[in-house]
Chain A
Amino acid sequence: MVDIVPLSSYPSYIDLLPSIQTCNITNLPENYFLKYYLYHALTWPQLSFVAVVRPKNGYKSGLGVGGAGAAGDISGQYPKVVGYVLAKMEEEPSDGLQHGHITSLSVMRTHRRLGIAERLMRMSQLAMAESHRANYVSLHVRVSNTAALRLYRDTLGFEVEKVESKYYADGEDAYAMHLNLQKHWLDWKAIEKRDRENEKAEGKGEDDENADEGDEVGELGKKEDGKTGEKMMKVKVGRGLGVGDLVERNESQQS
């Protein structure tokens, strides 16, 4: 029996990462360092999901910190991982539209035809729309992968945007596909209305200006008094990616 669980929610199942990596390298030619999985889990913790085999007697309950997970807690029990979806938000969308992207999805051959991939995708799509207000989700699929194509196009409703020639390392072409997600967006107006009501009830929030102190998130990219800040590098696609290039700072000596 297979359970679909979030990778990093409450309680956290982040200790499944090595097993997810093993699932990936067992099934697919496109592989990544563990750090790249960590990078997904820690940047977009809402978007990735895992399919695990439920152990014989279920999970023990309340293993989390302070007894969290009363109904059953998977962390620390290392069930077998038979599928996962690793997803992200596009960081620099070329069309300027906020959208999600499926980095990798796979289900063990022995666990196909159970609808696992579909369920993983639906969970991720919903989270992209809710958490990040993604306009759409995009992905690439091998033109020869008819089973996956059926899932994306027929079951989930993706459309082929274009063919990307020689997208894969072995020279195969990819379909670039996408699916609109706006119907899953949260009603922010309603939330803001509730905010205003709450503020009124608490007798604050009279300022017209919503002074947002948090707009400069971080010290990155800022130069101050000749001090050096940090540089964000673009992520390389495919191999050799890891957060190294993404977050490594250039150490400043000019303190």
Chain B
Amino acid sequence: MPQPLNSKDQALFRQVVRNFELKQYKKGIKTADQVLRKNPNHGDTQAMKALIMSHLGQLEEAFVLAKEALRNDMKSHICWHVYGLLYRQEKNYEEAIKAYRFALRLEPESQPIQRDLALLQAQMRDFQGYIQSRSAMLQARPGFRQNWTALAIAHHLSGDLEEAEKVLTTYEDTLKGTPAVADMEHSEACLYKNMIIAETGNLERALEHLEKVGYRCTDVLAVMEMKADYLLRLGRKSEAEEAYAALLDRNPENSVYYNGLIQAKGIPEGDHKALKALYDDWVEKNPRGDAARRIPLDFLEGDDFKQAADAYLQRMLKKGVPSLFANIKLLYSNPTKRDAVQTLVEGYVSGKSGSQQNGSAEGKDEFLASSYYFLAQHYNYHLSRNLPKAMENVDKAIELSPKTVEYQMTKARVWKHYGNSVKAAEEMEKARLLDEKDRYINSKAAKYQLRNNENDKALENMSKFTRNETVGGAMGDLHEMQCTWYLTEDGEAYLRQKKLGLALKRFHGVYNIFDTWQEDQFDFHSFSLRKGMIRAYVDMVRWEDRLREHPFYTRVALSAIKAYLLLNDQPDLAHGPTGLGVNGDAQDDAERKKALKKAKKEQQRLEKIEADKREARKAAAANAKTVDGEVKKEDTDPLGNDLVQTKDPLNDAMKFLTPLLALNSQNVEAQCLGFEVYIRRNKHLLALKCLSAAYAIDPSNPTLHLQLLRFRKTLDNLPEPLPAPSAEVVKAEFEKLLPKSQKLEEWNESFHTTNKDSVAHVQAALSARQLLNPDSKSQCEKDLLATLDSPQITMDEAAIAIDLLNKWGSDNTAYLQKANQKWPESSVFQLN
């Protein structure tokens, strides 16, 4: 049972609370100890002390004390509240909610407990619970507008638009007179209500409401956009036209507004004359803009196109706009336009065209250099590639203007397309040296070094712009600043080198950043209500729910899953790259053991280096005071050895796979990798689900083709039959993808013939043939070699072919030789 405190100790206890609120943590602990000396079992004091400890980074100890506090005083809402707060700090939100609920039962009138519970419910998307909490909070304090808004949000997010609107209206009805224009909370609440009405689909009413409140909302652009969109969707064409014209007056550089205007005017897609006239109007109104000049190139044809393109290109080349090619290349999917552009710009550099170059010699040189630069990018682009010409042009540009970073950058890119990552990185480094204060070119140089697997050099470059005194040095800063692109590239470079520990370390680094981004919304559940910017808040909540749909996540997840699959298939890689073949199979066991021993030794060496570095930093940190007094923990596993020495790589892969499949189900590569994980885990139903999904996206996908065959083989050779219910489903579903009656050889050869022009498909068919008939190996090797004669084959595909040969246990010399002849500049097909 709780012991009551005497009045002096009660005062001390209140001081502990105050100390905590003022963040005087050390004082708070001291004061708490003073109380506890006389009242060692005082639960509330113990709880407060635990809470303070948790803020001093002693979460574990805090939990022990908080549990003791609860034992001493089960009926104390303070103890339960603290218990919940500790769980919240640990991000165990479900347990935290439970603890808050206990606390609230003991103290139903407590606003702070109610509020903490509500925030967690919002975070956990427990909208029914959130509605309850918010209703209670509104009842307790109906005088605050934000309590009304909060309840409306709760209903809105739970999907009850009608109730949400009703709550907002009820509050509005209590207003006497119209609030001041300066009252932004009111202005936003009006637009929020309008957003809700629009979401009901009743645009007539939304428009009517907007007309009523819009004139006094100070977010002018939002009102204009809403109005234009409603009008267009309602088919009120002439008003929509006016609305989009008004938007364009404000911002002529937004193609969406032109689309709206054209739809409103009802100009048919094929009426190029009318379209061109419309855009010309806006060029006149806004002569310095780009959009109205550029967009017509998308639809104009023949001589009209040539004329417009000529004017556009010359204008931009004279200005020396570096993004000109990036702006133009989208037209190249149309070969006629591509060739027309090439003819025009080749004309400019040969001086034969009608390019009216008068003016200074300097201006002429700049125009010429820009044109060479354009041509270099043109011949470097995959739809118009001619690498020798690209190199020739970029060299001419550099000759005219040796200090221009962009030209030197393009030279590096040409080398990249030659497949020579070594030269590419070198040339990009030269570009960096031309402007060492520019971080953009620094980032590019680092990226090219990573593509060349030079992780240390790349980090050295990055460190010129990072805060290197951060815990963990430059790499620590890149994590802290959430530099996802670098971590992903770095990890992928390690993956290529089969340094799986470091690769996984980086991939998990990015994973954790996404976790942080999800966590970031927490504070806004209360903050945004205070600020009153509700539409942005609701948009954020919805965005957070699909956060991992972002391409940054997709990419890192795919790479991480590949790393785990590799680790699963070649467990020796847990000790670092062994230098053995793709299958990890060496000639004999002794060789394998030797390689493994070497790898382990290297691993230990690296660990020692890291440990030494850590010690050195610790010593340095002891001397220097931390800037903001925050205690940051040193990473105890900088090499990712803990990650790579997992007992269950496939289970770890699920962490990346689950969100990927949930939010990116239309990604065929994700489905195929999902199959690889599930089939290895003997989850036949889930593996099949991935196959079906991949089939729905692209039935003739080459990876899928081979996987279908492997699945058939797996089903045919099960050590014991699948349990009855799932066996039925598997049979029925798989029948749709690859019928049991299908003769597999025929099926495969037909796939081969149908897709004989695609190297990836041929490779898949050959692998399938190998699987069906191991005796076909020498024929397969020959056929694979022949794909090098295909005009379509890319270097990436050839590199995959080498992996295939290794997998088949074939000699790859002939292939390497031929590839080397085909791409002599490439660093991929070097013979040893």
A residues near B, CB below 8 A?
1-6, 8-10, 12, 14-15, 18, 21-22, 25-29, 31-35, 38, 41-46, 53-54, 56, 58-59, 61-62, 65-74, 76, 78, 82, 108-116, 119, 123, 126-127, 130-133, 144, 169, 186, 188, 191-192, 194-195, 198-199, 204-205, 207, 209-214, 216-220, 227-228, 231, 236, 239-240, 243-244, 246-255
In the bound complex, do residue A5 and residue B323 qualify as a contact, i.e. CB atoms below 8 Å apart?
no
Decide if A25 touches B481 in the complex (CB within 8 Å). yes
A-B contact pairs, 6 of them (CB 8 A): A25-B482, A42-B533, A45-B533, A71-B259, A194-B215, A255-B113
Q: Is the CB of B524 within 8 A of A42?
A: yes
User: Measured between alpha carbons, how far is A110 from B440 in the docked complex, in Å?
Assistant: 9
Cβ–Cβ < 8 Å partners of B198 in chain A: 66, 68
**In the complex the two chains form, is A46's CB within 8 Å of B216's CB?**
no
Q: Determine the chain A residues whose CB is within 8 A of the CB of B482 once the complex forms.
A: 21, 25, 33-34
B423 to nearest A CB, angstroms? 21
Q: Which 4 residue pairs spanning A and B have beta carbons closest together?
A: A71-B260, A255-B110, A12-B539, A45-B536
How distant is the Cα of A178 from the Cα of B521 in the complex, in angstroms?
A: 33
**Chain B contacts with A in 141-161, Cβ cutoff 8 A:** 141, 143-146
> How many A-B residue pairs lie within 8 Å, measured between CB atoms?
323
- Interface window among B247-255, B276-284, B581-589, B770-778: B247-255
CA distance A42 to B523 in the complex (A): 11
A212 adjacent to B51 (CB under 8 Å): no
CA distance A248 to B23 in the complex (A): 12
* Cβ < 8 Å to A, chain B residues 521-566: 521, 523-524, 526-533, 535-537, 539-540, 542-543, 546, 549-552
B533 touches A76 (CB 8 A): no
Distance from B522 Cβ to chain A, minimum over Cβ atoms (Å): 9
Nearest opposing residue in chain A for B478, CB measure: A25
Contacts A58-B255, A78-B550, A216-B144 known; list 13 others, CB within 8 Å.
Answer: A10-B225, A18-B484, A31-B481, A42-B524, A42-B527, A42-B540, A72-B260, A76-B546, A109-B322, A109-B405, A113-B321, A207-B177, A253-B47
Q: Which of A32, A240, A247 contacts B628 (CB 8 A)?
A: A240
| Shortest distance from the beta carbon of B721 to any chain A beta carbon, whole Å | 44
Chain A residues near B698: list those with CB within 8 A. none
Residues of A contacting B201 in the complex (Cβ-Cβ under 8 angstroms): 66
Asked if A45 and B535 make an inter-chain contact with CB atoms under 8 angstroms apart, the answer reads yes
Q: Given A41-B536, A68-B198, A250-B20, A34 and B520 touching (CB < 8 A)?
A: yes
Q: Is there an interface contact between A38 and B256, defined as CB atoms closer than 8 Å? A: no
- B550 contacts which of A18, A116, A246, A249 (Cβ < 8 Å)? A18
Q: Contact: A38 with B295, CB < 8 Å? A: no
A251 contacts across to B, CB distance below 8 A: 20, 51, 81, 85, 112, 116
> B180, A212: Cβ atoms under 8 Å?
yes
Q: Are the C-beta atoms of B218 and A214 separated by less than 8 Å?
A: no
A65 contact set on B, CB distance < 8 A: 199, 542
Residues in chain A near residue B254, CB distance under 8 A: 3-5
Are B177 and A35 within 8 A (Cβ)? Answer: no
B122 to chain A, nearest CB (A): 14
B818: Cβ under 8 A from any A Cβ: no
Which residues of chain A are within 8 angstroms of B437 by Cβ–Cβ distance?
144
* Chain B nearest Cβ from A89, distance in angstroms: 10
- How far is A220 from B186 in the complex, measured between Cα atoms in Å? 19
* A131 adjacent to B523 (CB under 8 Å): no
Contact string against A for B residues 314-332, beta-carbon threshold 8 Å, 1 for contact and 0 otherwise: 0000011111001100100
Answer whether A204 and B524 are a contact pair too, CB < 8 Å, given A43-B533, A253-B78: no
Which residue from chain B places its CB closest to the CB of A187 in the assembled complex? Answer: B181
Query: Would you give the 0/1 interface string for B274-308, flagging 1 where the beta carbon is closer than 8 Å to chain A?
Result: 00000000000000111100110000000000000
- Sort chain B's interface into a size bin: 35 or more
Known: A66-B201, A71-B259, A191-B216. A14 touches B113 (CB 8 A): no
Inside 8 A of A227's CB, which chain B residues have their CB?
Answer: 111-112
- List, in ascending order, chain A residues with CB within 8 A of B505's CB: none
| A residues near B742, Cβ cutoff 8 Å | none
Q: Contact between A10 and B222 (Cβ–Cβ < 8 Å)?
A: yes
- Who on chain B is nearest to A172 by CB? B437
Q: Chain B residues near A28 (CB, 8 Å)?
A: 439
Minimum C-beta distance from B695 to chain A (A): 24
Flag whether B436 is at the interface (Cβ < 8 A).
no
- In the complex formed, the residue of B with least CB distance to A38 is B520
Give the shortest distance, in Å, between A84 (CB) and chain B (any CB).
14
**Are B539 and A8 in touch, CB under 8 angstroms?**
yes
CB B363 to nearest CB in A, in angstroms, measures 15
| B676 in the interface (beta carbon within 8 A) | no
Closest residue of chain A to B259, judged by CB? Answer: A71
Distance between Cα atoms of A244 and B522 in the complex (Å):
10
CB atoms of A108 and B440 under 8 A apart: yes
Which B residues, 119 to 147, have Cβ-Cβ distances below 8 Å to chain A?
141, 143-146
Expressed in whole angstroms, the minimum distance between the Cβ of B213 and any Cβ of chain A is 10
Across-interface contacts of A216 in B (CB, < 8 A)? 144
Residues of chain B within 8 A of A26, CB atoms compared: 439-440, 443, 485
Give the one of B78, B81, B526 with max A CB within 10 A: B526
Residue of B nearest to A226 (CB): B14
Please determine whether B321 and A211 come into contact, CB atoms closer than 8 angstroms: no
A122 to B, closest residue via Cβ = B251
A9 to B228 alpha-carbon distance, docked (Å): 13
A199/B321 in contact, CB under 8 A: no
Assembly CA distance A39 to B666 (angstroms): 32
Residue of B nearest to A61 (CB): B259
Task: Determine if B330 and A1 form an interchain contact, defined as CB atoms under 8 angstroms apart.
Answer: yes
Q: Are B77 and A250 neighbours in the complex by a CB distance under 8 Å?
A: no
| Known interface pairs A42-B524, A68-B198, A69-B229; A130-B536 also in contact (CB < 8 Å) | no
| Interface contact B288-A115, CB-CB below 8 Å | yes
Q: Is residue B221 contacting chain A, with contact meaning CB distance below 8 A?
A: yes
For A228, the chain B residues whose CB sits under 8 A away are 17, 21, 112
Question: Which residues of chain B come closer than 8 Å to A243, judged between CB atoms?
Answer: 520, 523-524, 527
* Residues 451 to 507 of chain B near chain A (Cβ within 8 Å): 465, 467, 481-485
B219/A220 in contact, CB under 8 A: no
Residues of A within 8 A of B225 (CB): 6, 9-10
Nearest CB in chain A: distance from B248 CB, A: 11
Residue from B228, B323, B484 within 8 A of A114 (CB atoms) = B323
Q: Are A14 and B543 in contact (CB under 8 A)?
A: yes
A252–B47 CA distance with the chains assembled, in angstroms:
12
